[in-house]
Structure 1
Amino acid sequence: MKPCIQFMSILIHCCIYGVLIVSSSFSAEKNRVYETNRAYKTGDWITYGVNRFVRHIDIGEPYVYFATTGGITRINMFNHRWDFPWTKSNGLASDDILLVAKDKNSGYLWAVSDVGVSYQEPANERWFNLYYDEMNLQRDRITSFGIGENYQVFFVTAENRWFASSNTAINFSEIDAHFDDRFIEWHGDLAPSSGTLPYFFMDGGYLFNEHRRYIDDLDFRHWQITDWLRDGCNNLWIATWGLGIGVGDLNTYRMEMIPYGLWSEAVDAIAEDEDIFWCGGVQSGNEAEGATGWDEKSGWASYYEPHLIYGFDNAEITSIAADERFVLFGTSAGLTVFDKHKNHWRTYTVANRLANDQVHQVVMDHNDIWIATAGGVSRLGLEALTGDSLNFRTIQFPSLRLVNVYDLAVQENLLWLATEFGIYVYDKLLDSGGYYKGNEGPFDRPVYAVSVWQDEVWFGAEDGIYAIDSKTKQWLIPPAEKYVTKVGINRILASRSVVWVATNQGLLKYDRAGQRWIIFTQEDGLDDDRVYSLLLEGDYLYLGGPTGLTRFYWNAPYRID
């Protein structure tokens, strides 16, 4: 067993501290951000990602700061309430943070990431970045960062190269490796030992192992403790690799885990139920799979992992719908229903007469649930959710052929479907429908997204964005109609003053009053240009993407986009 343990120790060490390799082509990388976008105020863009993997802790009142793979998180050390995290949306060069350090003298916050060094000015909270290749680090990496008492900051690399800069700017230059560092507060490899861990009692089925430095859960998983730091209130803050952060009371020796952020990174679907946001997606590679129920006000998160929950069969979540009692997850292997009152999960598939196991969209109206799948649309009465069995009914298309339905929207008695063969309109009362035929609009070609606002119906097709007035049967003309190719339209969300379009190359906004289209990208505040899902809540727009959930204060009265 010893070789295995040694290998795992090396693997964990590599994951925690990272190995930075900078190629000669790095300087040509696109979308490089050097500072916070001055067109926006702090908080206009906020991204919540996966913050469970924590490398480092520092304290600068009133916050405890954590360097995570999803940005810098911060919690008030006095009331244990979370403030929003710092990420690329706020101007950081990267979300993958290795070290974080607060300069108590200047108030500046410093961060070492996988791509460079960043600092934040305390007055305006703007970030400024310097990239590794611009410091001629080549294939070297930063292992330690220090705060000096002589108005300087320092970092040391794996090759023992020493650099120094003013503590209020990024102007690093190489210095003698034998520099006297007795008055430097080090973070990283040169930091003094944090001492031994005491034993803590824990609730929730957790078991604290101070000798092996990990926490066990009820599923026999070991969560490695990566760092710990004592604050001035006699609390010990701990960081883990995968379980997030915890705080232990050194008077009672009881520890509480404080979950924050998402369980899984990609957010293909968002739904809101009272104060809870439900997020999930189809993850890439070996990313952890599961759903997150997140309370934005408190920051508290609840996680649901399919392989640990009977009845939650698949974590490839494509859509979510929720009301006061039920949460419905459309997945690549059926429809999963979560009864919050009974804490009961069940997944329904073609064996239960679902049209197809590949679910693309789930929509609730006043009486029914509509499920768009790769084999058509299924209908289910809301009252059936409280019964013992569900009786799905499939909408019959012409010629009884199977139709891939990517999206759907309800407009009074009409159901608008975005299908592989174009637009299909279904009358719920007459139980009949047909394909749109005409010279205008996306006729006889794939349509991937649809949204309804009053009499208007908006569509996203391969070659652009279209809209029709369902009462007058007239198609809207440019600029509302927009030809955009190869952007990959994922969702459309029409509202009173704005139409939002989620694409693989940014967020599109149609300003009805100004009759103009605007595009938002990483230069504005998106954490990634790929936008998969949309949810509008008043003045805020929530966007799901491959790196988490972003909140955009789109209707800020002090800004004109």
Structure 2
Amino acid sequence: MSYTNFRYVTSVAYDHKYIYFGTTGGILRLDRYRENWNTPFTTSDGMVDNHVRRLAYDPAKDELWADTYSGTAMYQPTFEEWYGGGVFPAGLVQGDKGKLNLTDLFMEFGYTYVSEGYILGPHLRRFDLTAHLEDNWQNLWVGTWGLGPGLIKLRSLDLILKRFGLFAKDVEAICLDGDDIWFGGEIDEDGRQGITRYDTRSEEWSYYEAPYRSGLPNAEVTAIAADEDFAWFGTQQGLIRYEKGGDSFTRFSTFSGLENDYVSCLETTPEGLWVGTIAGVNLLELKKGKPDSLSFRGLPKGDRFSNLHIYDIERDTGFVWIATELGIFRRLNVGGEWQSFIIPEGKLGGVVTAIETWGKEVWLASPRGILLFEPEGMTSNLYVPPGTWPERGIIRLAVNRDRVF
């Protein structure tokens, strides 16, 4: 299954179980009875294209049809399979793209429905309603261009936004934070940029859009880390701190003490937050329970790796490891001098783009392959994956007992 940007809705349909929203990123499925989301349909599930233009449902054959920019496809619920080809049954389209005959609707704070057929969002931004479909329970399901699906309860005249999926589809960083999962990445195709938070317990998606949130001037996220009180976001324009208790953002830059504003990696340790940049590393100290007592430790000049690209930082039970353009370095968690490791000649080269530890093993990624390094015996094995090497190389590694990802 795949998750992407589903905020641009083109069409709506329903059957006896689901409300379907066709979007530019695939098809969303909302359970009509529980009003919770099921997994979406995308090309990962067999669709011919994620950009859906129209949806239709055939009740006689129990078939869902999708008209996409790459052709027509039909979904058969009994076999849970997508089949390409066929003629799209335009006469079975249920949704309407016409103007709604509604004047006043109640919405969440910051959003206003305008009777001309659009929603006025924060900072007076306009989001058009693109499709709507009334079911037999006095619910009017709507699609918007930029805010995703919505539900209008015709009895109470409430318009409720039903957020689902990523704010931006190009994900650069993911962080597990208790019941939450944070996602961050590049500016999306529509020119908008934001951070996504998914609550695994409530199954709710939240978005934090830059630069419209105070303290969040940029959301081109390169790295994410979290501790008990804060979530940290490395961006191309500095380090961003999200205070969980206050729902607020604060930015730190070279004026705060960072070696460089382009943050490349983050790692939380008992000492504090290690911040890797494209021109050196910092250690951010924070006394527990005192959010304002934050300072960048003045590391000795030789410990800052000034003007050196820091690709990744990893902490295990004994050491802090740093992957750089000149190889790997480590030092004790409790402090001390950095130690450089020279990998056997020819196996790795200079640049190390990712590092992950598992027990006594240290796994490294470089343009030449993936290397297993065991510091105690100074042994190593180079693995070159078959097929085409990723153009950008490997930016992160994850390791368990059996596999390396």
TM-score by length of 1: 0.67
* 2:44 is the alignment partner of 1:89: yes
C-alpha distance 50-185 of structure 1, shift in aligned 2 (>3 A)? same
- What residue ranges of structure 1 are gaps of 5+ in the alignment? 1-45, 136-141, 147-154, 156-183, 501-561
Task: From the superposition, tell whether residues 77 and 376 of structure 1 become closer, same or farther in structure 2 (CA, over 3 Å).
Answer: same
Q: Which residue is 2:261 aligned to? A: 357
User: Secondary structure, in 3 states, of the residue corresponding to 1:492?
Assistant: coil
Contact 2:97-2:130 at 8 Å conserved across structures: no
From 114, 122, 125, the counterpart of 1:221: 125
Q: Distance in 2 between matches of 1:82 and 1:398?
A: 49
Q: Deviations over 1:60-105 (max 9, x none)?
A: 1211100001110011222211111101111111111111222211
Amino acid in the other structure paired with 1:79: R
Query: Deviation at 1:257?
Result: 1.5
> Using a 3 Å threshold, how does the CA distance of structure 1 residues 403 and 365 change in structure 2: closer, same or farther?
same
Q: 2:384 aligns with which of 459, 479, 482?
A: 482
1:276 & 1:419 partners in 2: Cα distance?
30
Please say if 1:313 is aligned against 2:268.
no
Any idea what the Cα deviations from partners look like across 1:151-172, whole Å, max 9, x if unmatched?
xxxx5xxxxxxxxxxxxxxxxx
Tell me how far 1:439 sits from its aligned partner. Answer: 2.4
Match of 1:467 in 2: 372
Question: 1:376 corresponds to which residue?
Answer: 280
Match status 1:270 vs 2:174: yes
Letter in 2 for 1:259: R
Q: 1:328-375 CA distances to partner (integer Å, 9 max, x unpaired)? A: 000111110010102221111111111211111111123421111111
Instruction: Choose from 36, 39, 50 the match for 2:5.
Output: 50
Query: Quick one: which of 467, 491, 498 aligns to 2:403?
Result: 498
Q: What amino acid is aligned across from residue 340 of structure 2 in structure 1?
A: Y
Q: Max radius of gyration: which structure?
A: 1
Say if 1:376 and 1:402, in contact at 8 Å, map to a contact too: yes
Aligned with 2:292 (options 372, 380, 388): 388
Measured in 2, the distance between the counterparts of 1:400 and 1:219 equals: 42
Higher relative contact order (CA 8 A, sep 6+): 1
Q: Equivalent residue for 1:421?
A: 326
Q: After alignment, is 483-492 or 412-421 more displaced?
A: 483-492
Q: Say if 2:312 is the partner of 1:407.
A: yes
Say which SS state the counterpart of residue 351 (structure 1) adopts.
helix
User: Shift of residue 206 of structure 1?
Assistant: 2.1
Any conservation in 2 of the 1:423–1:442 contact (CA below 8 Å)?
Answer: no
- In the other structure, the counterpart of 1:196 is 101
- Does the 8 Å CA contact 1:384/1:390 hold for their aligned counterparts? no
- How far 1:382 sits from its partner (Å)? 4.2
Looking at structure 1, the residues matched to 219 and 26 of structure 2 have their Cα atoms a distance apart, in angstroms, of 24
Paired amino acid for 2:316: Q
Tell me, in whole angstroms, the C-alpha distance in 2 between the residues paired with 1:294 and 1:323.
17
Percentage of pairs with the same residue:
31
Equivalence map 1:220-369=2 (5 Å): 220-283=124-187, 286-369=190-273
Given that 1:311 and 1:347 are in contact with CA atoms closer than 8 Å, whether structure 2 keeps it comes out as yes
The alpha carbon displacement at 1:58 in A equals 0.6
In structure 2, distance between residues paired with 1:291 and 1:86: 23
CA displacement, residues 387-437 of structure 1 (integer Å, 9 cap, x when unaligned): 424221346447965211111111223122111111222333342113222
- Letter of the 1:492 counterpart: L
Partners in 1 of 2:276 and 2:305 — Cα distance? 16
**In 2, distance between residues paired with 1:442 and 1:92?**
42
CA shift, 1:110, in A, is 1.1
Question: Helix, strand or coil for the counterpart of 1:290?
Answer: strand
Tell me which residue corresponds to 2:35: 80
CA distance in 2, matches of 1:201, 1:483: 55
Between the aligned partners of 1:299 and 1:411, the Cα distance in structure 2 is: 32
Distance 1:195 1:365, change over 3 A: closer
Measured against aligned partners, the alpha-carbon deviations of 1:494-530 in whole angstroms (never above 9, x if no partner) come to 1122111xxxxxxxxxxxxxxxxxxxxxxxxxxxxxx
Gaps of 5+ in 2: none
- Offset at 1:383? 2.2
**Selected match of 1:457 from 351, 362, 365:** 362
Q: Distance in 1 between matches of 2:360 and 2:373?
A: 8
Q: Structure 1: how far apart are the matches of 2:97 and 2:160?
A: 26
| 1:115 pairs with 2:70 | yes
Task: Return closer, same or farther for 1:386/1:313 CA change in 2, 3 Å cut-off.
Answer: farther
Shift of the alpha carbon at 1:293? 0.8
Residue identity matched to 2:235: T
Moved more, 375-384 or 402-411: 375-384
AA matched with 1:110 = W
> Is the 2:349–2:366 Cα contact (8 Å) retained in structure 1?
no
C-alpha RMSD of matched pairs (Å): 2.4
1: CA distance, partners of 2:40 / 2:351:
39
Assess, with a 3 A threshold, how the Cα gap between structure 1 residues 439 and 186 changes in structure 2: closer, same or farther: closer
| Aligned pair partner of 1:102 in 46, 57, 81 | 57
Q: What's the counterpart of residue 185 of structure 1?
A: 92
